[in-house]
Structure 1
Amino acid sequence: MPMQEHEHETAMRECIEAGLFDPQWYRETYSIDFEDDFAIFSDYLTKSRFSPVNPSPAFDSETYLRENIDVFHHQISPLYHYINNGKIEGRTHGPAINRWSPREILTPERTIGEKAKTLKIAICLHIFYDDFIDRFAQALDAFPVEIDLLLTLAKEEFTDHARNTLGGHPRVNKTEIRIVPNRGRNFGPMLVEYSKEIKEYDLFCHLHSKKSLFSGKEQTQWADYLTEYLLRDPNIISGVLNSFAEDEKLGLYYPTTFWMMPVWVNHVTMNVPFIREWEKALDLPPGTEFISYPVGGMFWARPEALDGVIREGWEYDDFPAEPLPNDGSMLHALERVLGSLVEGKGYKQFFYYPTTGQFTTDQSYTTSSYRGTIEQHLPAIQAHACISFDVFDTLVRREYTVADYAKLKLGKHLCEQGMVDDPHDFMKLRNSAEFELRKRANFQGDVVIDDIYKELGAKLGISEADADGLMRKEFELDLEMILPKNEMVELFNHLGSVGHKLWVISDSYYTREQVGLMLRKVGIAVPYRLLVSSTEQKRKDNGSMWAMIKQDLAQEGIDRHLHIGDNVVADAQRPGDIGLTTFHILHPMEKWQALGFPKVLRGSDALDEGQILKWGKLVSQVGRNPFIGE
């Protein structure tokens, strides 16, 4: 017996004796027919390096890897590490945690069915790094049916390797190879080269080798995770193909989002303008903030379900040139509209959730990480010496949710006085004055509400004193509607009372003094440092504030800092990009959406006072506590 196999068998026996590995439970949970217990243990050892599968109800793999990030980075199976090293080192483990229980379960057969065998299938692989040629070939070794390969290669010199290794693979019938420019990331080559061919198939799978960076870190386990549940595991792939074969309304499949991604990764993030362009081009209604989409751009689909994207006529010039940002481009937006496109065509998405071994059409996994209570997160929060908080929708909320409602109310007041004809016209004029100031400053720094009203006063033809009075009135109207997010205020005061250094950081045109009044009103009662963009002339949402914060932390010798906020870009993505630790909480509207309530206060409804009064208070009350299931 080889040394490694002997070590694994010894470890398996120890795990069984310790009650941490239950072969029968694993077999039943993951619906796989293994030859023997050692085959089951080997399957766990392989998958648990990159996937949150559990060996038994007594051991939670995800928790162990999150609490021992060195084990994750070294790609060691968590239970194997614990039984061989972790226990001796004093590391702890806990029982399996139910983080999400999918509804709407699909139960396809896990061996390939006769109907699925008749499907005409293409696998589209984009090879940017040639080491993936062997990886993909190995992943195809146990593929349950024969397929055609449509390859796009980044370099001519990859051709022989690809043709010999993939083209000569026993599961491959036919191979097409195209050499492509570095344009369009993974989508461009597939769409330009093979849109016509893809339409000839019942199903196609798209994978790529490009080692994407997410917030500056290469995700090798992410690639393994996607390859496993899209290509390598015959048990899962048989379930996928059987599902497509048995239900013609299933249009798109991919595993649930890689579990070590930030909790907010299923958000639209910086891609809103690009998403709106795609929605317009594809005749789709505006989507929501949290969406189900194939994070990483790899998936199975019916070609007709992606009609409009899978179409002839694409050219490389249709796609932006490299280098592209980590996020915020038409290509990042494209993967985010695939789900809504499929649903717009009358099809459904379905997913595989590795933790429970289930297929499902339930999309609530996108916000499942926000379930729980503040108390559950308190130990992790308190592990940081310095904790910063956002203001609006983090510590304070507005009674009617809508940020511009104070401006609308001021417009109504001026309308009653005969100063303006329509409150909405006033609001547009007020916002245009703000925009003009930002434009004049080349969108650098930030604007102050005093200057906004000086600009507005000139547009209205009133004195500076009268303009100042209007500015004060807007603030008073907004202040009247400011309410506490009680649980968050209590958390803030608790942290301050036990000695944590607290900072409050806000992007706002209000002055530092005005923001301070709002915080005082909601009950902030411990010392804190207040940083407001209008004073600092730096903003969170463009990263300039975070560059300053990082410098300040270094100068003060603070190495354990955490920022808490509700805005995905300003409070999570931007600071995360420069290595700061963040804790994202749901905005009231996002929690409303996550709970499945109707879409409200969107588009023109967001500034319709009747709709604001009807829904705004409800949304604010629901969103008071940012966690789901409190």
Structure 2
Amino acid sequence: MKLSCVFREWRQLAKPVPSDAELFPVPQNTSLVVPFGYRPKLVPPERRIAVFFHAYYVQELADAIDLQLRNLPVLVDIHFTTDTGEKAVLLNERFQSHPRIRRLKTTITANRGRDIYPKIGLMNQEHLAYDYVLHIHTKRSGHEDGLRDWRQFLWQHLLGSPEIVTSVFEIFERCPDVGMIAPQHLPFIRPWIHWADCKELAAGLGPHLAKAIGGIENIDFPSGSMFWARSKALKPLLDLNLVATDFPEENGQLSLTNAHAIERLFFISCELAGLKWLKIALPQWHAASDQLQSASSPWIVRRFVDKRNVNLLPGGN
């Protein structure tokens, strides 16, 4: 550890964050740079960790999935969901002997709710067995040229190296009040970080959600619905007990479905569970002018959570 780096980082966190309209709607939301500038301890072996992976585009992305999972520094259980028996067979054959997978389960589900229903609805009870979970999927966004690299951007932030994943676990271990860790937004996507007319849909999912979001105009959420979390942070959504028919048949919808509404509620769910959320960033994907905070010591990680936490719900968590 270089004391000069720690001192500089400590001073940086003592300064107020300048407002930046380009970071709308939450200009105070600084990102914590990963991997950290020190070597964290490995996650304790008693932690139960799972990957919930909705694999719709299996054939073309099997090799990429394999490579990403190899960056896990520990053995995990993996819950694949997909929509056909053929894809399920491919997943089982390809990953049943994967070196980072302790237990593999593949479930076939109707193509409804995209990645949201399979994880939040179909797999809601499975979450209860785990301390930490990763939500990830085989995203493909062809409707905008600027989103061509979005999946790679998200996967690299969450599974880009063993050091990145170890840094994520370090946050959870050092900061028991942190419940969700998501990538900072791809710069191209920032103008779309709003309710997208889904607030009424979100409120209709449950009275506790309607009450919570009533006064929230500016929303933030894990764009692309990929993130690491404590299972506890997802409980307000898992308890909705959603079923497939709560989602329309897939027709390439760009908004106004329950899947789009729930995507916007992940940070809200985390706060309702009494926990904080934060964002991480890989500097190579972000501008030098972005609000990035490096961490050369566990003290900086803890101080970052204390000084840079953002609340969406009135009154904080």
TM-score, normalised by the number of residues in structure 1: 0.39
User: Compared with structure 1, are the counterparts of its residues 193 and 333 closer, same or farther at alpha carbon in structure 2 (3 Å cutoff)?
Assistant: closer
What is the alpha-carbon distance in structure 2 between the residues aligned to residue 198 and residue 102 of structure 1? 28
Conservation of the 8 A alpha-carbon contact between 2:221 and 2:266: yes
CA drift of 1:189 comes to 1.4
SS of equivalent to 1:269: coil
Does 119-128 or 150-159 show the bigger shift? 150-159
CA drift of 1:255 comes to 0.9
The alignment-based identity, stated in percent, is 24
SS of equivalent to 2:265: helix
Which letter maps to 1:118?
E
Aligned counterparts, 1:181-196, within 5 A: 181-196=110-125
User: Compared with structure 1, are the counterparts of its residues 134 and 287 closer, same or farther at alpha carbon in structure 2 (3 Å cutoff)?
Assistant: farther
CA drift of 1:197 comes to 1.3
SS of equivalent to 1:264: helix
Which letter maps to 1:272?
K
- What's 2:186 paired with? 258
Matched, 1:204 2:133: yes
Matched, 1:309 2:254: no
Matched, 1:325 2:256: no
CA drift of 1:312 comes to 7.6
Give the greater-gyration-radius structure (CA).
1
CA drift of 1:142 comes to 2.5
What is the alpha-carbon distance in structure 2 between the residues aligned to residue 226 and residue 196 of structure 1? 26
SS of equivalent to 1:159: helix
User: Compared with structure 1, are the counterparts of its residues 274 and 363 closer, same or farther at alpha carbon in structure 2 (3 Å cutoff)?
Assistant: farther
CA drift of 1:279 comes to 6.2
SS of equivalent to 2:197: helix
Conservation of the 8 A alpha-carbon contact between 1:306 and 1:342: yes
Conservation of the 8 A alpha-carbon contact between 1:339 and 1:349: yes
CA drift of 1:118 comes to 3.1
Conservation of the 8 A alpha-carbon contact between 2:178 and 2:276: yes
User: Compared with structure 1, are the counterparts of its residues 210 and 165 closer, same or farther at alpha carbon in structure 2 (3 Å cutoff)?
Assistant: same
CA drift of 1:159 comes to 2.5
Conservation of the 8 A alpha-carbon contact between 1:203 and 1:302: yes
SS of equivalent to 1:137: helix
> Which of 263, 266, 271 pairs up with 2:198?
271
Which letter maps to 1:275?
A
What is the alpha-carbon distance in structure 1 between the residues aligned to residue 89 and residue 107 of structure 2? 12
The answer for unaligned runs of 5 or more in structure 2 is 6-26, 284-291, 296-303
Aligned counterparts, 1:223-372, within 5 A: 223-261=151-189, 263-278=190-205, 280-282=207-209, 283-311=211-239, 313-355=241-283, 356=292, 358=294, 361=305, 362=308
Which letter maps to 2:275?
Y
What is the alpha-carbon distance in structure 2 between the residues aligned to residue 330 and residue 148 of structure 1? 28
Conservation of the 8 A alpha-carbon contact between 2:76 and 2:100: yes
The answer for unaligned runs of 5 or more in structure 1 is 1-27, 29-99, 365-592, 600-630
Which letter maps to 2:201?
F
CA drift of 1:247 comes to 1.6
Aligned counterparts, 1:199-598, within 5 A: 199-213=128-142, 216-217=144-145, 219-261=147-189, 263-278=190-205, 280-282=207-209, 283-311=211-239, 313-355=241-283, 356=292, 358=294, 361=305, 362=308
Conservation of the 8 A alpha-carbon contact between 2:71 and 2:159: no
Conservation of the 8 A alpha-carbon contact between 2:180 and 2:270: yes
SS of equivalent to 2:179: strand
What is the alpha-carbon distance in structure 2 between the residues aligned to residue 266 and residue 307 of structure 1? 23
TM-score, normalised by the number of residues in structure 2: 0.75
CA drift of 1:289 comes to 3.0
SS of equivalent to 2:104: strand
SS of equivalent to 2:191: coil
CA drift of 1:166 comes to 2.3
Conservation of the 8 A alpha-carbon contact between 1:109 and 1:242: no
> Which of 137, 144, 149 pairs up with 2:78?
149
CA drift of 1:192 comes to 3.4
- What's 1:33 paired with? none
What is the alpha-carbon distance in structure 2 between the residues aligned to residue 352 and residue 104 of structure 1? 5
CA drift of 1:212 comes to 3.1
Conservation of the 8 A alpha-carbon contact between 1:116 and 1:242: no
CA drift of 1:191 comes to 2.9
- What's 1:18 paired with? none
- What's 1:9 paired with? none
Query: What RMSD, in angstroms, separates the aligned Cα atoms of the two structures?
Result: 3.1
Which letter maps to 2:229?
A
User: Compared with structure 1, are the counterparts of its residues 197 and 185 closer, same or farther at alpha carbon in structure 2 (3 Å cutoff)?
Assistant: same
Which letter maps to 2:171?
S
- The higher-RCO structure (CA 8 Å, 6+ apart) is 2
What is the alpha-carbon distance in structure 1 between the residues aligned to residue 73 and residue 38 of structure 2? 10
What is the alpha-carbon distance in structure 1 between the residues aligned to residue 232 and residue 251 of structure 2? 32
Does 290-299 or 308-317 show the bigger shift? 308-317
CA drift of 1:208 comes to 0.9
Conservation of the 8 A alpha-carbon contact between 2:31 and 2:279: no
Matched, 1:138 2:67: yes
Which letter maps to 1:157?
E
Which letter maps to 1:210?
K
- What's 1:494 paired with? none
Conservation of the 8 A alpha-carbon contact between 1:109 and 1:239: no
Which letter maps to 2:257?
S
CA drift of 1:188 comes to 0.9
Conservation of the 8 A alpha-carbon contact between 2:177 and 2:276: yes
Q: Deviations over 1:113-168 (max 9, x none)?
A: 24444321000110111122221110121211110100001221123321232222
Which letter maps to 2:88?
T
Conservation of the 8 A alpha-carbon contact between 2:225 and 2:263: yes
